Amino acid sequence: MIGLWSRPGYLVRRLHQLSVSVFLEEMADLALTPVQFGALSVIANRPGVDQAAIAAELGIDRANAGDVLARLEANGLAERRVSRQDRRYREVFLTEAGQDLARRGAARLARIQDRFLRPLDAAQRATFLHLVQLLIDGNNGIGRTSLRMPAE
């Protein structure tokens, strides 16, 4: 029988728990979950993005993205507007409060990442990030949602 600590899935799940813990501690006063902050970041970088694109970029399904956006709207951080180009679509924009919160959160990201990756030296960090990206790219088609990187 294989022990938990030699199972990649278990280790990835545990690593995710630790990552979320660091995020929540550092962002506690902003009262944002990692997914909410991710959505704020996507919208801040691409004002007018639609819900489907937000879902694809975050790797979540459209229904979950809708729930996240509803919470952001209820908290006065984002607003959805009917697209001028295609009235079937609603574009998402940050309010002033949302822009402020996105900026404040972004200013903390380096500290969060440094704290989480502290056990690794610079070369190990680069290797770790490269290997994680390979696993994501190689397995992106598995599961209910696929991550889609935005066009740069």
> pLDDT band for position 3 (50/70/90)?
confident
Instruction: Say how far apart CA 34 and CA 67 lie, in whole Å.
Output: 14
- Partnered with residue 81 across adjacent β-strands are 91
> pLDDT band for position 144 (50/70/90)?
low
Minimum mean pLDDT range among 2-11, 41-50, 124-133? 2-11
Query: Residues 151, 110, 73, 17: is their CA dihedral positive or negative?
Result: positive
Query: In degrees rounded to 5, what are phi and psi of residue 65?
Result: -60, -40
Q: What is the pLDDT of residues 37-47, one digit of tens each?
A: 999 999 999 99
Domains of the chain are 4-139 (1.10.10.10)
